[in-house]
Amino acid sequence: GNSVTQMEGPVTLSEEAFLTINCTYTATGYPSLFWYVQYPGEGLQLLLKATKADDKGSNKGFEATYRKETTSFHLEKGSVQVSDSAVYFCALSSSGGSYIPTFGRGTSLIVHP
């Protein structure tokens, strides 16, 4: 079956540091890949997505590239801000017919001033 593995947190960084949150997956077919973000006290919201190999999703300074050869979709940001403190979820939806996503466990990011 499908699965998503993310690095465990919390990830603690100083403001303006470089961020990487690792995500690898196993899936049948050709999945679409997503990063969601959950700010404190809120639901999840879509941050970015990529639907085919070598696609790069980007939003709000965050980027992730769909790497089929390494089955990875790592999230990166060049300079984090305190306001980026949140929990980040990697997810996939298989194009094999199921529309039910598989989520990673989430990675908490804490950014200090």
Partner 1 sequence: DVKVTQSSRYLVKRTGEKVFLECVQDMDHENMFWYRQDPGLGLRLIYFSYDVKMKEKGDIPEGYSVSREKKERFSLILESASTNQTSMYLCASSGGRGSYEQYFGPGTRLTVT
Question: In the complex, which residues of this chain contact partner 1 (CB under 8 A)?
Answer: 32, 34, 36, 41-46, 49, 89, 93, 97, 99-101, 103-106
Residues 6+ apart with CB under 8 A from 29: 94, 95, 96
Q: Angle at CA 66, nearest 5°, toward 60 and 71?
A: 135
Nearer to partner 1 by C-beta: 84 or 94? 94
Q: Cβ 73 to partner 1, closest distance in Å?
A: 14
Nearer to partner 1 by C-beta: 34 or 111? 34
Nearer to partner 1 by C-beta: 100 or 113? 100
CB 85 within 8 A of CB 75: no
Nearer to partner 1 by C-beta: 97 or 113? 97
CB 87 within 8 A of CB 106: yes
